[in-house]
Structure 1
Amino acid sequence: MSRTLKARIASLDGTTKDADLPLKRMYNLGSATRDPNTAVAHQQEVAKSGIHIAFDVPAPRIYPISLDAISSEDELFVQNDMTSGEVEIVLYMGDQLYVGVGSDHTDRALETVSIPGSKQACANHLVPEFWPYEEIRDSWDDCILRSRVDGRLYQEVGVNAFIRPEDIIAILRERVPGLPEKDFLVFCGTIVSVDKALGFGTEWSYELDTPATGRKLSASYRVVDILSEVDPGYRVPFFNPKRENAA
């Protein structure tokens, strides 16, 4: 299975071009920090909500994601009010390595039961523009990730907290047998929020800021709880009721 991702490629010289990027596989990573201790705060953050990391699996943990779960639309459909975004570096491996930014929007209620399932339940949100990594490799560690929810700062972190893009690709090639040579997308993990607690809200925005070049990639989206559209008296519970009460 494959699909085409419509995007722009922007270079430091100011030129841009539209591109139809073939997409064969997509992955989300967890605990993809250079120093493993840096990831502990986020692990503690999610544990407060009953979400427990599979520590017996070596970090960074890899979550294969269906190609259907990608969006750049203004609205993102969810099925409860316990969801939240995570600003992340996004890599596209094509004819060369490209960098971008996205939001790994996650169903936190489902995450208490299944982390892989929660990653699939909501779409990955993506800014449909990428930069050639080679052009900013030398200044990469100066870049900053930020996100906001309902107008308040939610996350702010330098990309130097995370494994470098070329090393992410090397890790995937080692741990994912049959990984395509190219045409795959990787969301590269997140870090603790500024107030060290999961945030919930409706209006999300995020960005990748590059102080060395003065460029930014940014996007915003609104979450829509489609389950709430059904009258409460006719709404099927998000979690299955006890078997004896099931219709």
Structure 2
Amino acid sequence: MLYFSCTTEEADGGVSGRVLAVEPKRFIIAGWTGRDAVAIEHHIEELEALGVPRPSGFPLYYRAGLNLLNQSSEQQVLGADSSGEAEPVLFFAEGEWWLTVGSDHTDRTVEGYSVAVSKQICPKPLATAAWRWSDIASRQDEIQLESSILEGGKWVAYQAGTLASIRPLQSLRDGAFDANGVGANGSFLFCGTLGAIPNAEGKGIRPAGEMQIALRDPRTKRSIIHRYSVETLPLIA
């Protein structure tokens, strides 16, 4: 069971909150979701540098195991070749769609021979807060998506942009589920990511021992933030 502290905007300008308990029933990861062809090509080239083959089309929808979803601040991965990426996440509960942030943490070595297989290898951390999607939908392009990683003993920006760089989330949702949520109770959809900001050595996608992911609403000054550490388990031959 996953628990979310949910914020709902009221007609009088105020906000109300409640906690939702959600049992995941279906989990889909949307890939290659960039709105701009140049940005998509950049991310493809970024992954090609790691040996990941070009996609057969886009967007693509990958089914993933429900057991991967979690809200822990500590994650365990096998080997040292995985890294996270911040993504807006839509889920359906109690008759409505909600928005939160998650990390599509991925094994980059496995991704080199199969993106679909790589989606099953690592845990997928989720924040514990969410916003009602209907409150955000009309201004989704303003919502900021960010991540930072602990690198060289300090926090550095790893990803930064807005949801304007990603296909409209409702179009991605409608490509995977009924637009009205019929049969979607307990469904989760990771909606794509942004390119990594290269470090001083010019390296973009890279592992880190800690990561922070965030959604920020500049209009309301509210944020959803989740931080997690990564324990690397040894590869035993």
Alpha-carbon distance in structure 2 between the residues aligned to 1:209 and 1:181: 26
Cα separation, 2, equivalents of 1:180 and 1:59: 24
- The answer to whether residue 27 in structure 2 is matched with residue 23 in structure 1 is no
- Percent identity of equivalent pairs: 24
Using the TM superposition, give the Cα deviation of residue 217 of structure 1 relative to its aligned residue in structure 2, in angstroms: 0.3
Provide the secondary structure at the position in 2 that maps to 1:29.
Answer: strand
Deviation for aligned residue 1:127: 0.3
> Where does the alignment leave 5 or more consecutive residues of structure 1 unmatched?
228-234, 238-247
CA distance in 2, matches of 1:121, 1:97: 27
Q: Paired residue for 2:213, among 203, 206, 210?
A: 206
Q: 1:97 is matched with which residue?
A: 97
Once the two structures are superposed, what CA deviation does each residue of 1:133-156 show, in whole Å capped at 9, x if it has no partner? 111222221111110111111100
Structure 2 counterpart of 1:10:
7
Equivalent residue for 2:231? 224
Query: Is the 2:30–2:172 Cα contact (8 Å) retained in structure 1?
Result: no
One-letter amino acid of the counterpart of residue 50, structure 1: G
Contact 2:91-2:97 at 8 Å conserved across structures: yes
Identify which of 174, 177, 181 aligns with 2:184: 181
Look up the match of 1:141: 141
1:38: Cα distance to partner? Answer: 2.0
Deviation at 1:62?
Answer: 1.0
Q: Does 1:191 align with 2:188?
A: no
Task: List alignment gaps of at least 5 residues for structure 2.
Answer: none
Q: Report if the CA contact (8 A) 1:149-1:199 is conserved.
A: no
| Residue type of the alignment partner of 1:173 | F
Q: What is the root-mean-square deviation of aligned Cα atoms in Å?
A: 1.7
Counterpart residue number, 1:231: none
- Is the partner of 2:109 in helix, strand or coil? helix
Bigger drift between 11-20 and 145-154 goes to 11-20
Tell me which amino acid in the other structure corresponds to 1:224: E
The one-letter code sitting in structure 1 at the alignment partner of 2:8 is S
For 2:176, what is the secondary structure of its paired residue?
helix
Q: How does 1:103-114 map to 2 (within 5 A)?
A: 103-114=103-114
Q: Quick one: distance in 2 between partners of 1:28 and 1:134?
A: 21
Whole-Å separation in 1 of the counterparts to 2:60 and 2:77? 24
Which secondary structure state, in structure 1, belongs to the residue aligned with residue 67 of structure 2?
A: coil
Partner of 2:42: helix, strand, or coil? Answer: helix
CA deviation string 1:186-239 (max 9, x = no partner)? 011112112262121101111001101100000111100122xxxxxxx623xx
Map 1:75-90; keep pairs closer than 5 Å: 75-90=74-89
Does residue 1:71 correspond to 2:70, yes or no? yes
Larger Rg: 1
CA distance in 1, matches of 2:25, 2:193: 23
Q: What's the TM-score, normalizing by structure 1?
A: 0.84
Provide runs of 4+ in structure 1 moved above 4 Å: none
Once residues 74 and 142 of structure 1 are traced to their aligned partners in structure 2, the CA distance between those partners, rounded to angstroms, is: 27
Q: Given that residues 46 and 197 in structure 1 are in contact (C-alpha distance below 8 angstroms), is that contact kept between their aligned partners in structure 2? A: no
Q: How much has 1:113 moved relative to structure 2?
A: 1.9
Mapped partners of 1:81, 1:119: distance in 2: 16
Write the distance in 1 (CA, Å) between the matches of 2:141 and 2:174. 18
Count of matched residue positions in the alignment of Structure 1 and Structure 2: 221
Within the candidate set 158, 161, 183, 1:154 is matched to 158
Give the TM-score of the pair, scaled to structure 2: 0.88
8 Å contact 2:158–2:196 — kept in the other structure?
yes
Residues 139 and 212 of structure 1 are in contact (CA less than 8 Å); yes or no, is this contact kept in structure 2?
Answer: no
